[in-house]
Amino acid sequence: MMMTELKKLYVGSLRLTAGCRKLGIGLMRVAIFVIFVWIGGLKFWNYEAEGIVPFVANSPFMSFFYTKSAPEYRDYKLREGEFDPAKRDWHTANNTYGFSRGLGVLIMGIGAKAAAMRLELPFDRKKEFYRRAVAVKEEVVSSLRDRNYHNLADRPGDRGLYRRRLVRLPDEVSVEGAEGRQVLKAKYIFIDTGAETVLPPIDGLSASRFVHTSASIMELKELPRRLAIVGGGYIGLEFASMYASFGSEVTVFEGGPVLMPREDRDVADSVRETLEKKGTFSERAPTYSAGVKVDSRGAVIVDDRLRTSNPNIRAIGDVKGGLQFTYISLDDYRIIRDDLFGAAVRKTGDRNPVAYSVFIDPPLSHIGITEKTARGTTWMSGSNG
């Protein structure tokens, strides 16, 4: 009887929370703002006790970032001799710590429960949720693109050229676009164009308005009732999970024998089962001819210092294939900088193991070798006694 009453109370609280979604969105925005203020402030505030610690201890929002309880943090600082407890209001710290923990749980609960209740909605309401999400996405992306553009375009001496094709000549690069042809000369040239999706060689596929790539589907304004995804790799599964959460009926077509072949089978099978419970069933095209070698999938071939077959051209980011993550592209820059202007010791092999995440629901993260690889490796062992 008690469990039944608790369930009724729980369901009632969920419906009340869903009815207050505007309040929930407002709270989430406040939390995001606080996080950015916190991160930005770390660049300027002193990390010592007289700097950031008093501010954290007496702030209901900043104490949200405690990794320890207030008493534990106090005892640690006392051992370090950084300040006298008589000069600090630790009762306030205890109260604010508890308040901020509750705020975090409330915000997380609003988002999670609203998403769960969406499953009960008619499809027209799901489409409305989708349209709102697209509008927010476009606002955020537009702002980021504008800011990133001006971060480069407004620098003295920098110049942006927007073209569709690069052609390498013996000692220069010809840039071809809508405004004609321009010839550029440089000691070193860096290819950092990103990657493009290659459609399967099926007649009429590229001309169909119902066919989207992982880039063009992000511009889709209306939620599709049914969606077929060709390819059961990480990106395909991320889109499958996302659209299934929005309410589409998703089918994933994979040409290989299994999904996620790089993962251990038990992990990949768990992902497949999770997606199926949500209602999901289970080549890059270069835009340049820059005088460098590419593989069968169109990825630029590079060595461990990201040098192409042309010694004056380096390839950065997705254009060279392999793991396609932002932090890999950033580390590519460090390798090239060291090769050209440093000690020339950094290599791509130095960054192993590489951690990565697949943004499905729930997320999948991985670092290091797989169990299958570990079991197939001979390990040396010994003892000192």
pLDDT at 222: 92
Triad 3, 8, 10: Cα angle to 5°? 90
> CATH number of 216-282+358-375: 3.30.70.270, 3.50.50.60, 1.20.1440.230, 3.40.50.920?
3.50.50.60
pTM of full prediction above 0.85: no
User: What's the whole-number mean pLDDT along residues 369-375?
Assistant: 85
3-state helix, strand, coil in the chain (%, to 5): 50, 10, 40
DSSP state letters, 271-284: HHHHHHHTTEE---
Crossing angle of the two packed helices 21-41 and 2-19, in degrees rounded to 10: 70
pLDDT in tens, 308-338: 888 788 888 888 888 778 888 888 989 999 9
- CATH homologous superfamily of 161-196+285-345: FAD/NAD(P)-binding domain (3.50.50.60)
Tell me which H or E stretch contains 141: helix 123-153
Domain(s) of CATH 3.50.50.60: residues in the chain? 161-196+285-345, 216-282+358-375
pLDDT in tens, 221-251: 999 999 998 888 888 888 888 888 888 889 8
